[in-house]
């Protein structure tokens, strides 16, 4: 009986957390982050912001995924209800050669009812590129929302 419980639990975790779902743009639910936002009635409503990471020629790792997700969520925490999707593109432009700007991060934010915004950062370290790009995205989104209100 314990073996059956383990198998069912393993399947449930895979089905609900890792398997791509069409309703989520064929991302697993781990690729979609949910936020709770208070309504004027005092109830909490769920807001979703998809974060899609495209690795290009950067080697995929859980550490990079987590860093990107945390950087985007921190940068857009105050405007998460207006952002529907963020696409992150990571590249190593010079492949085997090292230089001051060989890693590139491009982030494109899609705002509800607005045109998408894109920002880019280039540095010698992919983690720095992600952080700089997230900071630029925060400024660009904030500026866009201030102008449209």
Quote the pLDDT of residue 98. 63
Q: Phi and psi at residue 81, in whole multiples of 5°?
A: -75, -15
Quote the pLDDT of residue 59. 84
* pLDDT of 64 higher than 70: yes
pLDDT band at 4, cuts 50/70/90?
Answer: confident
Quote the pLDDT of residue 16. 61
Of residues 107 and 55, more confidence is placed in: 107
Q: What is the pLDDT of residues 10-35, one digit of tens each?
A: 777 766 656 655 544 545 544 444 44
* pLDDT of 95 higher than 70: no
Quote the pLDDT of residue 34. 46
Q: Which helix (H) or strand (E) holds 144?
A: helix 126-148
Contacts of 38 (CB under 8 A, 6+ apart): 44, 45
* pLDDT of 41 higher than 60: no
Domains in the chain with CATH codes: 31-148 (3.30.160.100)
Tokens of 114: 């607005």
Quote the pLDDT of residue 141. 93
Cα within 13 Å of Cα(28), Cβ side: 10
Q: Of 96, 117, 121, 84, whose CA–CA distance to 106 is shortest? A: 121
Mean pLDDT of 98-116: 85
pLDDT band at 129, cuts 50/70/90?
Answer: very high
């Amino acid at each position: 009986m314990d073996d059956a419980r383990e198998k069912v639990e393993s399947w449930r975790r895979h089905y609900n957390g890792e398997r791509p779902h069409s309703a989520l743009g064929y991302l697993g639910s781990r690729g979609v982050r949910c936020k709770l936002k208070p309504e004027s009635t005092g109830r909490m409503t769920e807001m979703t912001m998809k974060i899609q990471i495209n690795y290009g020629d950067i080697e995929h790792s859980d550490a990079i995924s987590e860093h990107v997700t945390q950087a985007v969520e921190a940068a857009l925490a105050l405007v998460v209800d207006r952002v529907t999707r963020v696409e992150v593109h990571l590249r190593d432009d010079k492949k085997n050669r090292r230089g001051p700007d060989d890693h590139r991060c491009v982030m494109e934010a899609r705002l509800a009812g607005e045109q998408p915004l894109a920002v880019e950062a280039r540095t010698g370290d992919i983690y720095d590129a992600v952080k700089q790009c997230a900071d630029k995205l925060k400024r660009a989104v904030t500026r866009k929302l201030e102008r449209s209100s």
